[in-house]
Amino acid sequence: MNREWMRERLESFKALCEAYDREDRRVQYADYTDRHQAITDEMSSQMPTVREILKRIDPALVEHVELPSMGGASGSLHAVQQGLGILRDRDEWAANLAPDAPSLAADQFHPHV
The ranges assigned to domains in the chain are: 3-91
82-103 average pLDDT score:
83
pLDDT score recorded for residue 19: 93
The model's pLDDT over 25-77, given as tens digits with 9 standing for 90+, comes to 777 655 777 888 899 999 999 999 999 999 999 999 999 998 887 677 889 99
The pLDDT of residue 51: 96
- Judged by phi (left if over 0) then psi (alpha if -120 to 50, else beta), residue 55 lies in alpha
Cβ neighbourhood burial of 73 (10 Å; 0-12, 13-18, 19+)? buried
